[in-house]
Amino acid sequence: MTEVIATNQTILVVGGGISGLTAALEAAETGKQVVLVEKRPFVGGRITQLYKYFPKLCFPTCGLEINQRRAKMNPNLTIISMAEVTEVQGEAGDYSATIKISPRYVNENCTGCGDCTRAVEAEFDNEFNYGLGGMSKRKGAYLPHKMAHPQRYVLDPRIIGTEDADKAKAACKVNAIDLEMQEETLTFKAGAIVWATGWRPYDANKIQPYGYDRFANVITNVEFERMADPQGPTGGKLLRPSDGKEAKHVAFIQCAGSRDHNHLLHCSRICCMATLKQTHFVQDAWGDDGKSTIYYIDIRAIDRFEDFYTRVKNNPNVSFIKSKVASITENSENGNPVLHGVDVESYNRDGNGGYDRYATEYDLVVLAVGMEPSVDKGTFPVDISINEEGFIEPAPENGGVFAAGCASDALDVNRAVQQATGAALRAIQVVNRVAGTEGQ
C-alpha cells in the first residue's frame, strides 16, 4: 500500500509535467512538504517527448536531468506516479484529496535492470511516440523512456493474466513484480493545491479536410518532434511514414485546430515558434535540399524571440504563405500529400489579377496542432473558475487552488515554468497562513 504523510500544511501538486515538477520543487526547496501526483508512470510530462526547445535549440532532457536530480535529493517531496486526483473537498488551508493509483505491477524493489523487458514477448504501439507508435513498438514490460523517473519499469495491463506476465515475474531477480497489485484509493490532507495538469495535442482527426486519419504522410508537430529525436521511432531521420522515403519538402500548417470556432477557440501561442524551430530540423537534416513551407494566418513569435523568426525568414530554404490551407488530398502515385488553398497575399502578384490558388505537393505535411487544456470543466473536483477555452482563471474564488502552466493558459515552457514558480508561492502563502494559525 502506498502511504502518504500529509497535513494541512502540505502542498498537493497535481500533474508532474514541467510546470507541476517546477512548482513542487520550488516549494519543497523552500522547506515545504509537497506531494506530487502524476498520471503517467514518470514525471516530466510532454517535454520528455520533445526533441529540442526554441529558441536555443537545446535539449529538454538537459533541464529535466537537473529537475529530476533535485527531486531525487529532496526529502520534502513525495512523488506518486500513475495516480489521478478523483475528489477534493474542503477549503483553502484545509483540503482533503482523494487519489486513485493505477497498478504498475512493479514495486519499489525495481532496480531498473531491464530483465523483465527481455523476458516479455508481447509488443505494443509505443504511446511515447504518439501516432508514430506503430513505427517502433515497445514491450509489454517497459521503461517509458531512458531517463524516466522514477526509474522503475511498468507492466502493460494488457499482459496481465497472460504468460508474458509470468515470464516477467520469473525473470525479476529482486522480486519487484507484483501481479496481484490492485488499484488503490487514498485520501490525505493538503493546505493548498497547485493544479498543473497541462495540455494535450489537439486531436488532428477532428480536422477532417486535412486527412490526418487517411494520409500516412500527414503527421502532427508532436509526432515530427519524435521523428527528429535520435531516440525516436526513426532514429532521428526525417523519413515519412508511408514508405520510409526521405522527407525533404515539408509543409507546416499553422493553427491546425487553433483559432477556430470549429475546434479550439484560442490561439495556442507556441505553435508558430514550434514550427519555426522545426524548420531547423529540416535544414539540419538535408541542408539546401530541405525545403520548408509554412502556411500561416499570423506569425506569432514570442516577443523577445522575434529575432528567431527573423533568422528563419532569412533562410532561403523556408517560405511563408499567408493562408489557411483548405484541404489536403493525396497523390496516389507517390503518396505525396497535396495542399489546396489560396494565398491571400498574392493578389495580382503576377499581374494577371486574382489570387494564387495552389495545389502543391510535399513529401510530408506537419500539422501544427494546438494545445488543448487537460482541465475538464465537467468533472473538475472542486468549484473553480474555468474560462470558455477550458483554462483555469486566476480567480480569488478558487481559494487555495492555483493553476500552474498550461492549465492556466496556452504557454511555452519558459512561461509555464515562470508561472508555476509564482503558483508555488501562492500555495506557500496559504500553508504559511495555516502554520501561523497553528502556531508552528
Map the footprint of another protein across residues 264-323, applying CB under 8 A. 265-267, 269, 297-307, 309-310, 322-323
Residue 426 found at the interface with another protein (CB under 8 A): yes
| Closest approach of another protein to the CB of residue 162, in Å | 26
Looking at 352, 436, 439, 440, which residue binds another protein (CB under 8 A)? 436
CB of 386 to another protein, least distance (A): 9
- Burial of 410 (C-beta count, 10 Å sphere; 0-12/13-18/19+): buried
Q: How far is the CB of 161 from another protein (least distance, A)?
A: 28
Beta strands in 145-183 (DSSP E): 154-155
Rounded CA-CA distance 259/31 in Å is 42
Cα separation, 68 vs 73, whole angstroms: 9
Q: Which of residues 209-248 bind another protein (CB under 8 A)?
A: 209, 229-231
Of residues 52 through 71, those in contact with another protein by CB under 8 A are: 53, 56-67, 69-70
Dump the DSSP string for 269-292.
SSHHHHHHHHHHHHHHHHGGG-EE
Task: For another protein, give the closer residue by CB, 85 or 318.
Answer: 318
> Does the protein bind another protein through residue 340 (CB under 8 A)?
yes
Long-range CB pairs of 47-50, under 8 A, 24+ apart, other chains included: 47/17, 47/18, 47/413, 48/128, 48/144, 48/145, 48/147, 48/148, 49/128, 49/129, 49/130, 49/222, 49/225, 49/226, 50/225
Residues 146-205 that bind another protein (CB under 8 A): 146-147, 151, 173-174
Q: Tell which positions 99-118 bind another protein, by CB under 8 A.
A: 109, 111-114
Applying CB under 8 A, the span of 160-168, 180-188, 277-285, 344-352 interacting with another protein comes to 344-352
SS3 (DSSP) at 51: coil
CA 263 to CA 379: how far, in whole Å? 20
Give the burial class of 79: count Cβ atoms within 10 A of its Cβ; 0-12 exposed, 13-18 middle, 19 or more buried: buried
- Residues 355 to 374: which contact another protein by CB under 8 A? 355, 357
| DSSP label of 393 | P
Give 259 or 291: the residue with its C-beta nearer to another protein: 259
Contact with another protein (CB under 8 A) among 31, 316, 378, 439: 31
How many beta carbons lie within 10 A of that of residue 282, not counting itself? 26
- 18 near another protein (CB under 8 A): yes
What part of residues 117-136 is at the interface with another protein (CB under 8 A)? none
Pick the piece of the chain touching another protein (CB under 8 A) from 84-92, 155-163, 360-368, 420-428.
420-428
Is residue 259 close enough to count as binding another protein by CB under 8 A?
Answer: yes
CB of 93 vs another protein, minimal distance in Å: 13
Q: Of the listed pieces 2-10, 25-33, 181-189, 216-224, which binds another protein according to CB under 8 A? A: 25-33
Query: What is the separation, in whole angstroms, between the first and last Cα of the chain?
Result: 30
Nearer Cβ to another protein (37/386)? 386
Closer residue to another protein, CB minimum distance, 183 or 345: 345
What single-letter amino acid sits at 85? Answer: V
Nearest residue (CB) to another protein, 139 versus 269: 269
What is the SS3 assignment for 165?
A: helix
Binding segment toward another protein, per CB under 8 A, in 9-17, 122-130, 242-250, 258-266: 258-266
| Residue number with CB closer to another protein (85 or 424) | 424
Cα separation, 187 vs 180, in Å, equals: 22
Q: Are 392 and 408 in contact (CB under 8 A)?
A: yes
Least Å distance, CB 97 to another protein, is 22
CB 327 → another protein: shortest distance, Å?
6
In terms of CB distance, is 85 or 371 closer to another protein?
Answer: 371
Q: What is the DSSP letter of 265?
A: S
**Closer residue to another protein, CB minimum distance, 85 or 434:** 434
Size of the site for another protein (CB under 8 A): 110
